Structure 1
Amino acid sequence: MAASCSLVCCGQEKDSDKSVIVRFSNGNIKNADKLDFTMFKNTDENNPRKKSQRILVAESDRLSYVGCNFGAGSLKCNNLCNYYVGVLNKKTMKMEVHSAQLFNMQPSIPGETTVTAKSQDTPLTYRDKVDSLIEMFGTNKQKRALSSRRLNQVGSDALHQAVTKAANTVIDQKGLEALQQEVSKTESQGDMFLHLPPIHSDADRPENVYLFDDLLSPVEFEALEQAGSTMAALSSEDLQKMRDGGCLCVVKVLEDMPAEDGAIRDKTSRCAFYLSLLLKLARLKNVTRQFGQEDGCPRIIQNKLLRTFSVETFKNGRVSNMVSSSMRAKLAGYSLALLLHMGHMIADLTLLHRDLHITEARMIEVAKSMGLTLIRPPRGLAAKEKLHDEHRRASLVLPLIKYDQFTERRKRKKMH
């Protein structure tokens, strides 16, 4: 049976009597017995800030190591924790517990300095002086705030260097002239360009400018089979409820849907259901995870809507989805592109802006950003024939129209 041992506490020890625990920054020492350790202490023992300063030197045949418990190279853990080391006396089988301090041993190469001290002639700024006072006499809270600010400053500098390196790499790959052309093209399109569906301006056919697969992928379109069948089987009463609920575009599409062609009818009904979800989403401010479940919305479509047309915000300890003004502009662009595919590249802007609860000017701005051609019937002919259709429409015609940016100038008030 193994012999048992007991612990003996040695009490409070002076700094000079503390045991030493060392670690080497450049690796592990295999033959520690061949190292010659020497401890140096500050001679000014009357100064309470200097009497505990120690320098530990470890010399070998090839290299020397130096560690200190003060200055920039010291370990801050000595000020935060108390360390103890146990020494077993094999004769009495008692383990004596001594207080200890840690030293970080770094190799010392002659002719090189590890710490570059500031010149005494260099004037310190007010911030540097305050930081020095906090380091010397500040509270623990002030020291933690100072350490956090310095870490953030180092992180911002590293981020700035990474961004500069990435920008130089992109410039080397694409060239400065090509990047300037892309920037000018984006600025000409305006901020609305960021929220439009993917555009293929070099397409040879109108339906290929805004691809249908970019609006609804084949997997998402297949998931809308059951919802599309339900939409196609709506009665006139259901259509009237939908009209009262603010889905005029969807009702118009379902009423004009052909009854003979089954493939076109199936595609139109699925797109109409997806369009109704876009219109409902545009009228909301905060979106819950249960959005669309009462209408039979598939899970893949629900995730797509939340991921593409909402912004995650953190409020009251919870993550919620919000539909911002920029997301409403994005919903308008995707809804307009979907209506173009459903209406032979012609869409009714008046009905759409009413369903989206946005102004007509905003809707026209989205259509112009997409390069569409605006259509409006003559006022005289409409008044003569007493037509109710005074709606503004947009069509996709190649080549796309590039509209000039219009900056509104307010009229100055006359001084009387």
Structure 2
Amino acid sequence: MAAEVLSSARWSYCGEPEESQRAVLVQFSNGKLLNPGNMRFTLYKSSDSTNPRKRGQRILAAETERLSYVGNNFGTGALKCNSLCRHFVGILNKTSGEMEVYDAELFNMQPLFADEPIESDSSLENQTKTFREKMDSCIEAFGTTKQKRALNSRRMNSVGSESLNRAVTKAAEEIIGTKGMTALLSDAAQDDAQDESLYLPPCHDDAATPKDVYKFDDLLSPAEYEALEAPSEAFRNVTSEEILKMIEENSHCSFVIEALKSLPADKERRDRQARCLWFLDTLVKFRAQKVIKRKSALGPGVPHIINTKLLKHFTCLTYNNGSLRNLISDSMKAKITAYVLLLALHISNFETDLTMLQRDLKLSEKRIIEIAKAMRLRVSKRKVEVAAGREEEHRIGVLRLPLPAPQNAEHQAKRRRIT
């Protein structure tokens, strides 16, 4: 009769159980119980119902006449099988032949001796340790020689860093006490001005003429100027048809094309203008890049000495993925912009169209004006005729003596990041 009932039994999964319907399975770490009927079990639940990680934490306590046992479903003593698989308990109703299946949790019960408190001072201390401190303790106890050596080295560096921080703090307090905050702020403003000057061409305040304020030799050395003769030949002998082709193909920046339309007839001046325009056009193209992956980044037509100048003076050497590369940072872009402005001033008799250069360099009007004022230029507005007889209002930068006074520290702080 029992066999007939079992053969016709039906499974009925009760779905996600309520807390009262979750079954508990236990195993004892130190053997089997001789008399399980005398066990008294108590299940403790976490009182933190808001934290999803703590909400399901359970502690199961069991007592016999001789020993007490405890098990939990969290922490180091929890069984990993609870997270890797699911356990079920089935209750068979022999009359109806239906088996109700409930979810279950497995607890590993370990003996708890009377003279051993449930939560010792060491366990409390362990709970307050960070993950790094716990890992360090494991390395001290079970780590290899290499791991222990690395741990000692890191701790020594940490001690050295703390000592250095204390020394720096003490030195800073002594300096502030000696010089005072006002003097330190003044020194910081001067340092900002010096940092900014690293990205601007050398300025000679005591010059008698505009061309001596920013000397041409600071832009191009005699050897570099000589090397520009061959590549600038196309500009020197340019025709009207070639200029129209440049406009159609957009092969050169607008400032260069406009200057080529009005090259001087004098042979020496024409040659100088052509060389300056070719180098200005090269700087604009060079600035448009971000990373220079090869030494001849602008093609075979650029002389070696010019390539070297561009990489040395207008890029930062960085290390990436096992190789060195030249990066054009924001500060280097500021430097290139300043040198382009200076070339334009020498080309156009120290009065240049900032709006046209701004568009060629893809800058905002505010940024080009900031750089121009940092170079001690006077900035004004002027109507400029463009195509089809239409006029536009352009910003004009003029280098004129006497030079405007340098801006104060508040203005310098605002233009520390020039791009």
Q: What pairs with 1:221-232 in structure 2 (closer than 5 Å)?
A: 221-232=225-236
What is the match of residue 393 of structure 2?
A: 390
Per-residue deviation, 1:335:
0.4
TM-score, with normalisation over the residues of structure 1?
A: 0.54
Q: Does 1:367 align with 2:367?
A: no
Q: 2:328 aligns with which of 303, 323, 329?
A: 323
Cα distance in 1 for residues equivalent to 2:383 and 2:263: 27
Amino acid at match of 1:405: H
Q: What pairs with 1:34-73 in structure 2 (closer than 5 Å)?
A: none
Amino acid at match of 1:231: F
Q: What pairs with 1:137-216 in structure 2 (closer than 5 Å)?
A: 138-149=143-154, 183-187=188-192, 189=193, 192-216=196-220
Unmatched segments (≥5 aa) in structure 2: 1-128, 173-180, 415-419
Q: Does 1:217 align with 2:221?
A: yes
Cα separation, partners in 2 of 1:284 and 1:144, compared to 1, 3 Å: same
How big is each residue's C-alpha offset from its partner over 1:256-277, in whole Å with a ceiling of 9 and x where there is no partner? 2211242x22221111111111
Q: Does 1:250 align with 2:256?
A: yes
Q: 1:269 aligns with which of 270, 274, 283?
A: 274
Cα distance in 2 for residues equivalent to 1:163 and 1:232: 60
Q: What pairs with 1:12-91 in structure 2 (closer than 5 Å)?
A: none
What is the match of residue 343 of structure 1?
A: 348
Q: 1:233 aligns with which of 230, 233, 237?
A: 237
| C-alpha contact (below 8 Å) 1:186/1:193 kept by paired residues | no
Name the SS of the counterpart of 1:277 in structure 2: helix
Name the SS of the counterpart of 2:326 in structure 1: strand
How big is each residue's C-alpha offset from its partner over 1:278-303, in whole Å with a ceiling of 9 and x where there is no partner? 01011122223222234x11111101
Amino acid at match of 2:143: G
Cα distance in 1 for residues equivalent to 2:352 and 2:260: 14
Cα distance in 2 for residues equivalent to 1:150 and 1:269: 63
| C-alpha contact (below 8 Å) 1:375/1:393 kept by paired residues | yes
Name the SS of the counterpart of 2:204 in structure 1: coil
Amino acid at match of 2:229: E
Per-residue deviation, 1:305:
0.6
Instruction: Give 4+ residue runs of structure 1 displaced > 6 Å after superposition.
Output: 129-133, 154-164, 176-180
Per-residue deviation, 1:346:
1.0
Cα separation, partners in 2 of 1:202 and 1:322, compared to 1, 3 Å: same
Unmatched segments (≥5 aa) in structure 1: 1-125, 168-175, 409-416
Name the SS of the counterpart of 1:376 in structure 2: strand
Comparing 133-142 with 235-244, greater Cα deviation is found at 133-142
Cα distance in 2 for residues equivalent to 1:310 and 1:358: 19
Q: Does 1:309 align with 2:319?
A: no
Cα separation, partners in 2 of 1:257 and 1:319, compared to 1, 3 Å: same
Name the SS of the counterpart of 1:256 in structure 2: coil
Cα distance in 2 for residues equivalent to 1:293 and 1:185: 41
| C-alpha contact (below 8 Å) 1:311/1:321 kept by paired residues | yes
Per-residue deviation, 1:195:
2.0
What is the match of residue 72 of structure 1?
A: none
What is the match of residue 173 of structure 1?
A: none
Per-residue deviation, 1:196:
1.5
Q: What pairs with 1:278-317 in structure 2 (closer than 5 Å)?
A: 278-289=283-294, 290-294=296-300, 296-317=301-322
Name the SS of the counterpart of 2:231 in structure 1: helix
| C-alpha contact (below 8 Å) 1:372/1:401 kept by paired residues | no
Q: 2:362 aligns with which of 342, 349, 357?
A: 357
Name the SS of the counterpart of 2:308 in structure 1: helix
Cα distance in 2 for residues equivalent to 1:368 and 1:229: 34
Superposed CA RMSD:
4.4
Per-residue deviation, 1:345:
0.9
Cα separation, partners in 2 of 1:303 and 1:144, compared to 1, 3 Å: farther
- % identity of equivalent residues: 41
Cα separation, partners in 2 of 1:148 and 1:177, compared to 1, 3 Å: same
Cα distance in 2 for residues equivalent to 1:222 and 1:157: 56
| C-alpha contact (below 8 Å) 2:382/2:396 kept by paired residues | no
What is the match of residue 94 of structure 1?
A: none
What is the match of residue 399 of structure 1?
A: 403
Name the SS of the counterpart of 2:317 in structure 1: strand
Name the SS of the counterpart of 1:405 in structure 2: helix
What is the match of residue 70 of structure 1?
A: none
Cα separation, partners in 2 of 1:161 and 1:350, compared to 1, 3 Å: same
Amino acid at match of 1:201: D
Comparing 196-205 with 143-152, greater Cα deviation is found at 143-152
Per-residue deviation, 1:378:
6.2
Per-residue deviation, 1:224:
1.3
TM-score, with normalisation over the residues of structure 2?
A: 0.54
How many aligned positions are there?
A: 276
Per-residue deviation, 1:201:
2.4
Cα separation, partners in 2 of 1:136 and 1:318, compared to 1, 3 Å: same
Cα separation, partners in 2 of 1:154 and 1:399, compared to 1, 3 Å: same
Per-residue deviation, 1:133:
7.9
Cα distance in 1 for residues equivalent to 2:146 and 2:308: 44
Cα distance in 2 for residues equivalent to 1:154 and 1:218: 55
